Amino acid sequence: MVVEKFVINVEQAALKDLTRRLDATRWPDEIADAGWEFGTNLAYLKSLVAYWRDGYDWQKQQAALNRLPQYRLDLDGQGVHFVHVHGKGPAPLPLIITHGWPGSFVEIVKLIPLLTDPAAHGANAADSFDVVVPSLPGYGFSDRPLNRGVNPQRIAALWVRLMGALGYQRFGAQGGDWGSAVSSALGLDHAERIIGIHLNYIAGRFLLGGTLEGTPSDAIARAYQAKLRGWWDREGGYNHLQATKPQTLAYGLNDSPVGLAAWILEKFRAWSDCAGDPERAFSKDELLTNIMIYWITETISSSTRLYWEGRERPLRLSVGNSVKPPVAVALFPKEIPMPPRELAERGYNITRWTEMPVGGHFAAMEQPELLAGDLRGFFRSLRGR
């Protein structure tokens, strides 16, 4: 296996095509005083697209991303893109961080220097990490899977091989959203390789038998299921569509940059601690750079197929099938409904549970300092194992 350096280089023709498509947008109507109740707000999206068209500088963002050491590695036909930054400290601990949907490796960028060079950010150099941030298969600059079966368990096996190729036989794992599923699968299937796991999200389906249809027999699980059902009823349409008919959705999102932006932007607003205004949590440039990763690589279709794969082979945890390595959970207040600790402990060896004061689903982008601090604190006691 040969690790090859990688540089992002989007051709001008692709950028001109994007401008053409933005100019040709056929805007829909909207109910009066709709706000965001029906989905992405028309006035806000128009303002963001106007900035995308005339104010956003992709070349500047591309140059910033290219300052990160990026690579690609072929693992039996699956090309994986990743960022690999060595820590500045006496004994950096290897850590693989997995992003989710609708994020990308861009989601993790602000977190990296806080972990690799803690002394430069007011923390202890002894808490440094060697950080590896791969792009999930079918996301960004990783190859798009063309066959079935690339689910969180398969991705976890790829990550073990990736880390081994980089010289790390044992390592920590971190993730939210799909990164939580992959990190959990690492602890379930490859426990001997894992020092510890840090999660900022746990999906309820991991602990409720993979479905919301059955009724749990105990009060703790029933109460959580009722809360989760309410959330799915209000917010879960995207998941059902992506898990059942992702190809139908792909035709529109892969063809229309505005459609793609609307689909992704709605989630960044709904799942973040932004009080209804996306730009209280993210800058326009951050939102658009993440959207651009999907647009320029044409990976919205392959990214949503992960939902189909996860439905076909759900990750199910229980007391008899639990994640054995030490697990830390950082609970951000505006996160998608999370299981209570009493329920989560049925599937995880939880040794640390931190309730954060602010933040939401995109913790590495919203509150990188809080997330970094919790990561340092958790792994401090595990170093040297």
Residue ranges per structural domain of the chain: 12-24+33-380
Q: Where are the beta strands (DSSP E) in 179-259?
A: 194-199
pLDDT at residue 319 tops 60: yes
DSSP annotation of 39 reads S
Give the confidence band of 215 by pLDDT, cuts at 50, 70, 90. low
Please write the tens of the pLDDT for every residue from 233-257: 999 999 999 999 999 999 999 999 9
Per-residue confidence (pLDDT) for residue 209, from 0 to 100: 62
Which residues participate in catalysis according to the annotation? 177, 307, 361
How far apart CA 172 and CA 127 sit, in angstroms, is: 13
Which of 109-113, 210-214, 305-309 comes out lowest in average pLDDT? 210-214
Q: Where are the beta strands (DSSP E) in the chain?
A: 3-6, 70-75, 78-85, 93-98, 129-134, 171-175, 194-199, 323-331, 348-355
Q: In what order do the strands lie in the sheet with 323-331?
A: 3-6, 70-75, 78-85, 129-134, 93-98, 171-175, 194-199, 323-331, 348-355
Per-residue confidence (pLDDT) for residue 268, from 0 to 100: 98
8 A C-beta contact, residue 353 and residue 339:
no
How far apart CA 257 and CA 35 sit, in angstroms, is: 21
pLDDT at residue 212 tops 70: no
In order of 33, 35, 100, 260, the CA distances from 30 in angstroms are 8, 9, 30, 18
Which SS3 state, helix, strand or coil, does residue 338 take?
coil
Short-list 34, 350, 10, CA closest to 196: 350
Per-residue confidence (pLDDT) for residue 213, from 0 to 100: 53
Can you name the residues that pair with 350 across neighbouring β-strands?
Answer: 327
Q: Name every residue whose Cβ is closer than 8 Å to that of residue 298 and which is 6 or more positions away in sequence.
A: 254
Mean pLDDT of 308-332: 95
Strands 3-6 and 129-134: unpaired
In order of 41, 53, 186, 319, the CA distances from 26 in angstroms are 15, 15, 45, 52
CATH superfamily, domain at 12-24+33-380: Alpha/Beta hydrolase fold, catalytic domain (3.40.50.1820)
Please write the tens of the pLDDT for every residue from 341-382: 999 999 999 999 999 999 999 999 999 999 999 999 999 999
Phi, psi of 273 (to 5 degrees): -90, 75
